[in-house]
Amino acid sequence: MASTREAYGKTLLDIGRSNPDVVVLGGDLNKSTFTHLFAQEFPDRFFDFGPAEQNIMSVAAGLAASGKIPFVSTFAVFGMCRPFDQLRLNIAQPRLNVKIVCTHAGIITGEDGMSAHSIEDISLACSLPGFNVIAPSDSIETIQAVKAASEMDGPVYIRLYRTAIPVVHDDDYVFSFGKGDLIRNGTGVTLFATGSMVGNSLIAAQEIATEGIDCRVINMHTLSPLDEEIITLSAKETGAIVTVEEHYIHGGLGSLVAQVTGKFFPVPLEMVALKGYTESGKPDELIEKYGLGIKDIKFAIKNAYARRTLPIAGQ
């Protein structure tokens, strides 16, 4: 287990040391997002606005238009939901080089409760034309995704978490922006998982293999642009798909994958996702209560497998 937000804070500091154009904007949650590390070393390149997220995004746009590389960090509900108008008008439409890295996404924010559970952020970010959207699956991927974001031109949204999550990659892993990450091969059902749910998806695949269902697991770290090629290929080769995400069922990974399969190669599709808002509670308990646990993933796998379309030879 390792913290994605801590990995982000340390990586951002390293990037700041090598690139003087990097500036950081916060919203009174800097210790929680680990951007206080940057603030301590580079106080003249760090700006705290308090709880004024609309202002933060507007100023970040101005800094980007002036040639700086602004990183904005706060909780996901405050960084994507609250200032959506500013994101749309000031950043997405002029396609400015703003990096928005938000922590405390999803329901594993836990005891902070319903108002702090960001379950709509992927949908909102992906609805902005030109936005690059990344949901790293662990701390190792987070480090590489943040570095990649700092080097690419254009707006980026990166989704991170409050609690530590399983580490699913080795130290020699290489992040490839826009490309699905095959982390377990299989021929029976393809699991497309993103962010915090990749670890549980791997466990579910390993457990259900003992029941004779061989699952392929693909880490969809990049939600926009989406790797349509790996989705279509997996649909053809395995004949059934399960999507797994800690996000609202509408507009997230499941919806994105369904758009691709519906266009190129329709197959049975099951979605493990949130059906609505939740409540305050311990992260593990919320995951189980609201249908995102390992048993729920296995149940979806069995349903997809029962409806499975066998691959067609030569296609």
- Tell me the CA distances in angstroms from 220 to 42, 52, 101, 179, 215, one per residue in order: 34, 32, 18, 8, 15
In sign, the C-alpha dihedral spanning 176, 283, 128, 102 is: negative
pLDDT score, position 61: 98
Strand-pair partners of 23: 70
- Say how far apart CA 35 and CA 121 lie, in whole Å: 21
pLDDT score, position 266: 96
Radius of gyration of the chain (CA): 19
Contact criterion met (CB below 8 Å) for 34 and 146: no
**288 is known as an active-site residue:** no
Number of neighbours of residue 258 by Cβ within 10 angstroms: 16
Pairing of strands 69-75, 132-134: unpaired
Q: Any idea of the CA torsion for 93, 99, 100, 103, to the nearest 10 degrees?
A: 160
Per-residue pLDDT of the chain (315 residues; tens, 9 = 90+): 899 999 999 999 999 999 999 999 999 999 999 999 999 999 999 999 999 999 999 999 999 999 999 999 999 999 999 999 999 999 999 999 999 999 999 999 989 889 999 999 999 999 999 999 999 999 999 999 999 999 999 999 999 999 999 999 999 999 999 999 999 999 999 999 999 999 999 999 999 999 999 999 999 999 999 999 999 999 999 999 999 999 999 999 999 999 999 999 999 999 999 999 999 999 999 999 999 999 999 999 999 999 996 654 444
Alpha helices in 107-156 (DSSP H): 121-126, 139-151
SS (H, E, C) 261-293: HHHHCCCCEEEEEECCCCCCCCHHHHHHHCCCC
Burial of 311 (0-12, 13-18, 19+ CB in 10 A): middle
Pairing of strands 46-48, 222-224: unpaired
pTM given for the model: 0.96
Residue 148 phi, psi dihedral angles, 5° rounding: -65, -40
- Say how far apart CA 263 and CA 51 lie, in whole Å: 42
pLDDT score, position 19: 98
Tokens read off for 176: 């490839």
pLDDT score, position 314: 40
Domains and CATH numbers, the chain: 4-159 (3.40.50.970), 181-306 (3.40.50.920)
pLDDT score, position 256: 98
pLDDT score, position 310: 64
pLDDT score, position 28: 92
Burial of 34 (0-12, 13-18, 19+ CB in 10 A): buried
> Exactly one of 41, 53, 111, 285 is catalytic; which is it?
53
- Say how far apart CA 258 and CA 39 lie, in whole Å: 42
